[in-house]
Amino acid sequence: MTKIKNPPRHKARELVLKSLYALDCGTADPDKSFKQISSETSLAEKHLNFASQLFTLCKEHVDWADTQIGQLAKNWSVERINYIDRNILRMAIIELQYVPDSPIKVVMNEAIELAKTFSTHDSSAFVNGILDTFSKSLAPKPASI
């Protein structure tokens, strides 16, 4: 089986990351920013809907996610984590918690790939460590058929 380069859900997660970054940098209207960023992509409607739902979840649960990250990032305050890594972690932790059909390994791999693409050389290991610890606290998801 051939691996699809940049599958649609990966592109959707990139869209969410870019929108979260804009929000973190003080964008006045996050929904307008999301629409602007999403207009620059060629995602199918179902993948845009996934991105929109994930972005909404991230806005709603950012404080919860920051609490989780703060507890997992030993000797690091959430504010000290760079914008990109912090938003990758927020997005992945929220997806793991609130999107039941997203497999843990897929979410973790996607977050690591986003860190490799958009952040520093050491970021993927940092993101992996935080998400690995967080994923161990989750209740097992039912196997899909």
What pLDDT is recorded for position 2?
A: 46
31 part of a folded domain:
yes
129 part of a folded domain:
yes
* Of the candidates 93, 116, 103, the residue with the CA atom closest to the CA atom of residue 14: 116
What pLDDT is recorded for position 29?
A: 82
What pLDDT is recorded for position 140?
A: 65
Query: pTM surpassing 0.85?
Result: yes
70 part of a folded domain:
yes
Measured over the CA atoms of residue 87, residue 89, residue 93 and residue 99, the dihedral's sign is positive
Per the structure, how many domains does the chain have?
1
Please list the alpha-helical segments (H only) found in the chain. Answer: 8-24, 30-38, 45-60, 62-72, 83-98, 104-118, 123-136
Write the DSSP assignment of 1-25 as a string of letters: -PPPSS-HHHHHHHHHHHHHHHHHT
Give me the CATH number covering residue 50: 1.10.940.10
Q: What is the DSSP letter of 142?
A: P
141 part of a folded domain:
no
The alpha carbon of residue 21 and the mean position of all alpha carbons in its chain are separated, in whole angstroms, by 11
91 part of a folded domain:
yes
Total Cβ atoms within 10 A of residue 80? 9
Measure Cα distances from 82 to 32, 94, 123 in Å. 24, 18, 9
145 part of a folded domain:
no
What's the domain range around 23?
A: 8-136
What pLDDT is recorded for position 30?
A: 81
82 part of a folded domain:
yes
One digit per residue, pLDDT tens: the chain, 145 residues? 445 566 899 999 999 999 999 888 886 788 888 898 888 888 999 999 999 999 999 999 999 999 999 999 988 889 899 999 999 999 999 999 999 999 999 999 999 999 999 999 899 999 999 999 999 988 665 554 4
d(C-alpha 2, C-alpha 97), whole Å: 30
68 part of a folded domain:
yes
Alpha-carbon torsion, ordered 7, 115, 61, 12, to 10 deg = -20
